Amino acid sequence: MATPNLAGGAASAALKTVLDSPEIGRLIDELEATRWTGRPGYPVRTMVGLALAKSLYALPTWTRVVELVADHWKLQRVLGCEGNPPSKWAAYRFAAKLRENAPAVERCIDAVVGGLKEKLPSYGTDLAIDASDMPAYANGQRYLSNGGPERETYSDPDASWGHRSAVSTRKGGGFYGYRLHAAVCTATDLPVAWTAETARDHETRFVVPLIDTAKRRGAMVATAALDKGYDIQRIHNECMERDCLPLIPLKQTPDVKRGDDAPPTCSHGTWTFAGSDRKRGASKWRCPTGECAPASTWVAATRLHPLIPRETKRWKAAYRKRAAVEREFGRLKNQWGLKPLRVRGLDRVRLHADLTILTKLACALSRARAATAPTHRQRGSSRASARPAPMRVRPAARLE
């Protein structure tokens, strides 16, 4: 259970800073304009703060957040509900209100991402894209009894069976629920765009929406690193059409087995990479001795011959940074309460993912602003003296 000093300390200070930020302030204003009151009259600011506290303290349910606030007067003071903490029913009604006003939540996320881009210029330039399982809060038993007929109704009708590939620490197989598809910045480890979808939907469908959302939010999206599961020509084209260079290892398709991905060769040996031309959409390769005529040739960009060739150091170094998305999934799940799901239905799962990541990004933005704000002594001095913004975000407050 929560310890009073922690609830009254750093985490509640972080909550206050985030709640007072202009981006969250605008969300509060927009929701107030819809004339919602959490009967018996909780201010919108209190309820937005409650929603942020849920992720900040990594709590799985509204009941737990309401209990935490009820137990800690400092949190009540931050939320502006001293002596009158909200009930779980007020929290449920407010969550419904947020789902009805999804565009306002989206605008708030856009603004926070835009604010981060301003503070951390490299944020959103190089992305790592992947999907991660979110098992449903529901009975996922596929069969009514062992060897019996397949179950036709589940307690979460939006959840579905997805396939999980094997990694070193667990077996592959089916899982029942949802998947979070995310584009994470490899320089800052911070998410830029994401979407929660039912598990059966294939991950290759969400690359375009993620890149387009990241760009709409002001990210440059110069490169995207994706694992082998995304190695199809369509994804390569979709990235290139968006001026984003894909970094994807090759799947052993028939053309790869034939060796179609190999660089050009001649009697002098294997041709060497001599740079790419984005406008031309091709990479240049040279005869190793220069004796051939012509001594160089252009190879049009395809998944077999990307503009950043897989044999280059640049590709290898950039692809290694794909791990950023996996690390971020781990942090969101284990430190920010993304897991376990304690809601059912796609719109509730989406709100849960949005609030979790919004809270994390809003905390990162507050810290970036605090780190670059001129101190008393520095005020008025040149901008160059400001300390660089931190790249890392501290984990959410722990309760246990």
Residues contributing to the site for Zn ion (CB under 5 A): 266, 268, 287, 292
Which is closer to Zn ion, CB of 268 or CB of 316?
268
Which is closer to Zn ion, CB of 59 or CB of 299?
299
CB contact at 8 A, 158 and 180: no
| Residue whose entry in the numeric block shows the structure tokens 């002594």 | 377
Report CA-CA distances (Å) from 41 to 64, 85, 94. Answer: 21, 11, 12
CB contact at 8 A, 68 and 57: yes
Beta bridge partners of 134: 178
Distance (Å, whole) CA 366 – CA 17 = 7
Distance (Å, whole) CA 59 – CA 77 = 20
Minimum CB distance to Zn ion, residue 290 (Å): 7
Which is closer to Zn ion, CB of 33 or CB of 266?
266
165, burial (CB in 10 Å: exposed 0-12, middle 13-18, buried 19+) = exposed
Beta bridge partners of 284: 298
Which is closer to Zn ion, CB of 268 or CB of 392?
268
List, as one string, the DSSP characters of 250-266.
PP--HHHHTTTTSPPEE
Which is closer to Zn ion, CB of 70 or CB of 295?
295
Choose among 170, 175, 134: nearest CA to 346. 134
CA-derived radius of gyration, the chain: 25
Minimum CB distance to Zn ion, residue 265 (Å): 8
Minimum CB distance to Zn ion, residue 276 (Å): 21
Choose among 9, 15, 2: nearest CA to 51. 15
Minimum CB distance to Zn ion, residue 288 (Å): 7
Minimum CB distance to Zn ion, residue 272 (Å): 11
Which is closer to Zn ion, CB of 268 or CB of 327?
268
CB contact at 8 A, 319 and 130: no
Minimum CB distance to Zn ion, residue 116 (Å): 49
Minimum CB distance to Zn ion, residue 287 (Å): 3
| Residue whose entry in the numeric block shows the structure tokens 């970094």 | 247
Residue type (1 letter), 196: A
Which is closer to Zn ion, CB of 297 or CB of 302?
297
